[in-house]
């Protein structure tokens, strides 16, 4: 099978179910943003993989990458594809919440905003968080026009909270000085 089909040369692409839409379609923007997030999550995972202090995080991020493929597919559903992708299970969203709660147990309370930086892995957590927020906004815009599965947008919302908390937890585990915004 060839990787190129030439069917998109005119600026259109196919959604799940066969519907052809503009590559500027809001659903394409949403799943494209999730695709970008997956690439950054992979980079973050690669950054953390060889450090025993972050081993459990690597496993979680690999699971999240799989879930992001489902999120992306949910945004790529077009006419005729509604039954081809299952929604994100509530247990997946609750799993993110449990992970957030567990990480927060390791962290000192803060009352100020966190400024990214101090370590490449910490910065990558925040890059992932901001790309996730952008993907969520793209998904919400698509949801204003098309039927978008709400489990996907809920997952992205919770995932951005997870990525923020992960950044703080990586800061703590790697003994990086946490930078807080002091106006």
pLDDT digits (tens, 9 = 90+) for 83-97: 889 999 999 999 999
Distance CA 31, CA 49 (A): 26
- Name residue 115's beta-bridge partners: 179
Tokens of 165: 């908390």
- In this model, does residue 1 exceed pLDDT 80? no
Q: What is the mean pLDDT of residues 59-82?
A: 93
Residue 19 — very low, low, confident or very high, per pLDDT cuts 50/70/90?
A: confident
Contact 8, 23 (CB under 8 A): yes
pLDDT at 176: 95
Name the pTM for this structure: 0.94
């Amino acid at each position: 099978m060839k990787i190129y089909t030439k069917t998109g040369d005119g600026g259109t692409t196919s959604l799940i179910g066969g519907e052809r839409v503009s590559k500027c379609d809001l659903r394409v923007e949403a799943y494209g943003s999730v695709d970008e997030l997956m690439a950054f999550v992979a980079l973050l995972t690669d950054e953390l993989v060889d450090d025993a202090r972050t081993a459990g995080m690597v496993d979680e991020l690999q699971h999240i990458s799989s879930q992001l493929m489902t999120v992306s597919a949910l945004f790529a559903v077009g006419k005729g594809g509604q039954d081809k992708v299952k929604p994100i299970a509530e247990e997946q969203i609750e799993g993110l919440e449990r992970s957030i709660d567990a990480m927060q147990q390791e962290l000192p309370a803060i009352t100020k905003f966190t400024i990214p930086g101090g370590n490449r892995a910490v910065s990558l957590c925040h890059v992932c968080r901001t790309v996730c927020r952008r993907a969520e906004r793209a998904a919400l815009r698509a949801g204003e026009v098309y039927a978008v599965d709400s489990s996907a947008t809920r997952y992205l919302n919770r995932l951005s909270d997870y990525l923020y908390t992960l950044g703080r937890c990586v800061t703590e585990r790697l003994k990086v000085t946490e930078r807080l915004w002091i106006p």
